[in-house]
């Protein structure tokens, strides 16, 4: 890795917005492949994630990191490249804040971090009724369904959503993760979700682990077939 590449990672890690954008632009102009640039920015984002886990960074920092990442993706050369290439996605997630709850911050951070980790995300927005979750999952066939909520009463709402997936016989077609500060292991079991997360980065870790399992078993099917 050359000096400029190391510097880019460092700027992402330190959330130096202007420097990241300037240097990214420069590297692209010098002929760097967009995928390579994405790898470097992702490495910086991983370091941000580690700083979050070590409690040096907090949610406000993750929001800033997400914004920097988004802006890099929006650079002309990046959009031109990624518009035609979609085959680098590791999994598909349908995501939304559940009925009755209009909070979107946690969901948006989670979405940004999923995208930074090469997930394709279908964001249904806030205050999403169970019927819509069901319909959109039929339509998009995601690997993972993410249910977000801030209000304490979303526990029952999340359970209702999981229940409707059970009732219609499609529960086992999708992994369900619930996200919110008020969720615990016991609550997750009560809801009937596969797992839960109190913050976006642990949520992404769970999703990646699931995809490792899913992609691995798919590879095995292909190999055996």
Give me the residues that bind other proteins (CB under 8 A), please.
Answer: 15, 17, 55-61, 63-64, 67, 99-105, 108, 127, 129, 151-153, 155-156, 181-184, 186-187, 190
Annotate 76-101 with b (16+ C-beta within 10 A) or e (fewer): ebbeebeeeeeeeebbbbbbbbbbeb
Residue 105 CB, shortest distance to other proteins, in Å, is 5
Residue 43 CB, shortest distance to other proteins, in Å, is 20
The CA-CA-CA angle for residues 106, 108, 112, to 5°, reads: 120
Residue 23 CB, shortest distance to other proteins, in Å, is 17
User: Do 121 and 95 touch, CB atoms closer than 8 A?
Assistant: yes
Residue 13 backbone phi and psi in degrees, to 5: -55, -40
Return the number of the residue (15 or 211) whose C-beta is nearest other proteins. Answer: 15
Return the number of the residue (8 or 174) whose C-beta is nearest other proteins. Answer: 8
Residue 4 CB, shortest distance to other proteins, in Å, is 22
Return the number of the residue (73 or 211) whose C-beta is nearest other proteins. Answer: 73
Return the number of the residue (108 or 115) whose C-beta is nearest other proteins. Answer: 108
Residue 197 token pair: 């997360």
Return the number of the residue (15 or 94) whose C-beta is nearest other proteins. Answer: 15
Tell me the C-alpha distance between 105 and 210, whole Å.
24
Q: DSSP readout, 43-99?
A: HHHHHHHHHHHTTSS-HHHHHHHHHHHHHHHTSHHHHHHHHH--TT--EEEEEEEBT
Residue 99 CB, shortest distance to other proteins, in Å, is 6
User: Do 175 and 210 touch, CB atoms closer than 8 A?
Assistant: yes
């Amino acid at each position: 890795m050359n000096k400029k590449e190391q510097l880019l990672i460092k700027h992402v890690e330190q959330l130096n917005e202007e420097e990241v954008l300037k240097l990214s632009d420069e590297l692209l102009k010098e002929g760097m492949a967009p995928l390579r640039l994405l790898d470097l920015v992702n490495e910086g984002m991983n370091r941000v994630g580690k700083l979050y886990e070590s409690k040096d960074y907090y949610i406000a920092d993750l929001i800033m990191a997400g914004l920097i990442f988004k802006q890099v993706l929006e650079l002309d050369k990046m959009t031109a490249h990624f518009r035609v290439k979609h085959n680098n996605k590791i999994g598909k997630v349908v995501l939304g804040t559940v009925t009755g709850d209009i909070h979107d911050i946690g969901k948006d951070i989670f979405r940004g971090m999923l995208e930074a980790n090469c997930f394709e995300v279908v964001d249904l927005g806030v205050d999403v009724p169970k019927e819509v979750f069901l319909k959109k999952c039929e339509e998009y066939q995601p690997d993972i369904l993410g249910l977000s909520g801030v209000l304490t009463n979303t526990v029952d709402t999340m359970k209702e959503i999981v229940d409707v997936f059970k009732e219609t016989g499609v529960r086992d077609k999708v992994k369900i993760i619930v996200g919110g500060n008020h969720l615990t292991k016991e609550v997750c079991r009560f809801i009937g979700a596969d797992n839960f997360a109190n913050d976006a980065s642990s949520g992404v870790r769970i999703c990646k682990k699931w995809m490792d399992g899913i992609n691995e078993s798919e590879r095995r099917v292909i190999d055996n077939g």
